[in-house]
Structure 1
Amino acid sequence: MRRNIVFIFIALLSLYTASAQADKAATQTVTSTVQKNTAPQRGTLYRATYRGNVSYLFGTIHVGQTAFYPLEPQVTRALSDAKKLVIEVDIRDTEAMRVAVMRHGIYPDGQTINQHLSADGSAQLRQALKRVGIPFENVARMKPWMVANLLLVQEMARNGFPTEQGIEKYFISIAQKQNKPIQELETADYQLSLFDSMSDVEQEEYLKENLTELANGEAMKKALALIAAWQIADAKALENALLEMQKGENASDRFLQQVLLDKRNPNMANKVEALLKTDKVSFVAVGALHLLGEKGVPKLLQKRGYEVQRIY
């Protein structure tokens, strides 16, 4: 289920397209909603412990809407109790994102995407851009992986889930109001370098697969189903989505499983392990898929001897 990719990296690309106005709107949303008393469970929440230290692990999605907020009391209390908020990447650092995008998502001067695509891939891209009203010149120097993800971001926004109301921005706004330090697990450069590690052939396959599913509606059908499961903390549906994804054999599925999840999860577990040894209480928010399955961060911590409880 390659559309799970939306929830892992869509927040990063939002920094390439979102404005300061959007950040202000997100902050206003938090201010107006965080004081409400009741809310349904969303996502998935774990508690890892070590010698009296606690690290809460919350599974996010990187898009949102005002109806998501406030998150339920267990989550907001856990963040309030924490001395530190930890997120995948500090999305406030727009300069770091700009540099990473230029390094990994944009071709050098004199190169264009046409030089790296087959005639069929170029034609399919032009048709997709025409459908959504984007001039080809606007993406001519973008690499195929970046064009694909950019179109996914825009399609999510058209379906009512803009990145400027994503969960990370919500948590950041709360942490700032509570004067909590904010730490990142990874860097924008590292995350985007993973996409850039694909060969030209792999990037074209990735682009064409995504363009096909955007055109036939499968991309949003799968993404919206996952969002629906996240909205009601449907653990079984989330786990089933991961299992289905693991069966995939095309380029996008392999890249998602082997690179975006299996390669990163052990490093994330290392960072949480370090937090457990140094911080009395921390709150870690990462994409929900990183917390699921036998290779997810909670299971990796359990295998290392840490006590991990799934709260819901």
Structure 2
Amino acid sequence: MTIINRIKHVGSLAARLATGTALGVGLFAAVAGAPTFAVAQEAAPSPGPAMWVVSDADSTIYLFGTVHLLKPDTQWRTPELEAALAEATELWLEVPNADDQAAAMPLIQQYGLNMGGAPLSSLLTDEENAQLAAASAAIGVPIEATEVMQPWLVGLQVSVAAVVRAGYDPASGVDTRLKASADEAGTPVRGLETLEQQVRFFHDLPQEVQLQFLRQSLAAWEEAEEMLDAMVALWAAGDVEGFETLVIDEMQAEWGQLYDVLLVQRNADWANQIEAMLEGSGTIFIAVGAAHLAGDDSVQAMLEDRGVTVTRR
């Protein structure tokens, strides 16, 4: 197995959480208590992470791909990015309150627990239960607590924990930093989705797909850092093609229904929302996981299929 295939295999779940749905950040903090700390970020020299613009006579919409968790010393802010943020009158994120533990806890209770159902351990092999016990101990979640959790919730916790274990911090994530800057500037922060919608994406998956997600999370637990570092390096350099090869191609080939639910369907919905935004006026900055802005199923590709011009900045 080549090094590129090996890191794609062991790190795809962790990468998915870092670049796709923002949900894992809030739920990991709510269940386990992710470590957070503030670190100043310096502007990075251009080129930096990719940015696109959609515009018409009276509207400008910036599209920026994010990584939801980053190592604290990662530099990603560029003069072009700062200028676009300063120009924007609204910041749109996947969800505006991904780190709101008070909002996350009722959703965990409603959609993440399987009270009265088969215990999780009965759905896993002895080897998988041993892996889960080790991961649970590292997360700080009693193994008994996972018995009443839906497989998707445990898989999400394990995936984000693998990212945090590799030195990636939710407090240093791009979305968190952008929201903090917007709040400081008094810029409204809005969401393309609600936290409940993101929870339902996982909850509504068939149990076997949820178990597949959990099993892949456990397989990636020990060796996520190599994949993440490679992925972030491509993202920070604005290498969209390299990012697509490393992350998107493997997801598209192997994730099946999960890829369709977490990426394709959501991108189509966001393209609809962006088209509606163009009917208004003003400048909007949209920041979503970088996986949504790469590949044939990206938001940009869907907009262009509808006749909307999208330009790389």
Could you say whether these structures have the same fold, taking a TM-score greater than 0.5 normalized by the shorter chain as the test? yes
Calculate percent identity across the aligned residue pairs: 27
Mapping of residues 110-125 of structure 1, within 5 Å = 110-111=116-117, 113-114=119-120, 117-120=123-126, 121-125=128-132
TM-score (norm. length: structure 1): 0.84
TM-score (norm. length: structure 2): 0.84
1:58 alignment partner, SS class: strand
Mapping of residues 11-26 of structure 1, within 5 Å = 11-18=22-29, 25-26=37-38
Contact 2:46/2:78 (<8 A) preserved: yes
How many angstroms does 1:238 deviate by? 0.9
Distance 2:83 2:164 in 1: 30
Distance 1:293 1:55 in 2: 20
Give the direction of change, closer, same or farther, for the CA distance of 1:264–1:133 in structure 2 (3 Å limit).
closer
Distance 1:178 1:285 in 2: 17
Distance 2:122 2:284 in 1: 44
Q: What code does the residue aligned with 1:173 have? A: A
Distance 1:23 1:210 in 2: 20
Distance 1:9 1:116 in 2: 30
Gaps of 5+ in 2: 1-7
1:183 alignment partner, SS class: strand
2:285 alignment partner, SS class: strand
Render the CA deviation track for 1:194-227: whole Å, top value 9, x for unaligned. Answer: 1112222222222112212224x2x433233211
Mapping of residues 132-143 of structure 1, within 5 Å = 134-143=141-150
Distance 1:37 1:150 in 2: 31
1:205 to 184, 198, 212: 212
Distance 1:187 1:112 in 2: 29
Contact 2:20/2:292 (<8 A) preserved: no
How many angstroms does 1:151 deviate by? 1.6
> Counterpart of 1:178?
185
Aligned length: 298
1:263 alignment partner, SS class: helix
Residue 155 (1) aligns with residue 162 (2): yes
Residue 84 (1) aligns with residue 90 (2): yes
Q: Over aligned residue pairs, what C-alpha RMSD do you find?
A: 2.7
Contact 2:107/2:196 (<8 A) preserved: yes
Give the direction of change, closer, same or farther, for the CA distance of 1:206–1:289 in structure 2 (3 Å limit).
same
1:47 alignment partner, SS class: strand
Distance 1:102 1:40 in 2: 45
Distance 1:130 1:140 in 2: 14
> Counterpart of 2:227?
222
How many angstroms does 1:234 deviate by? 1.7
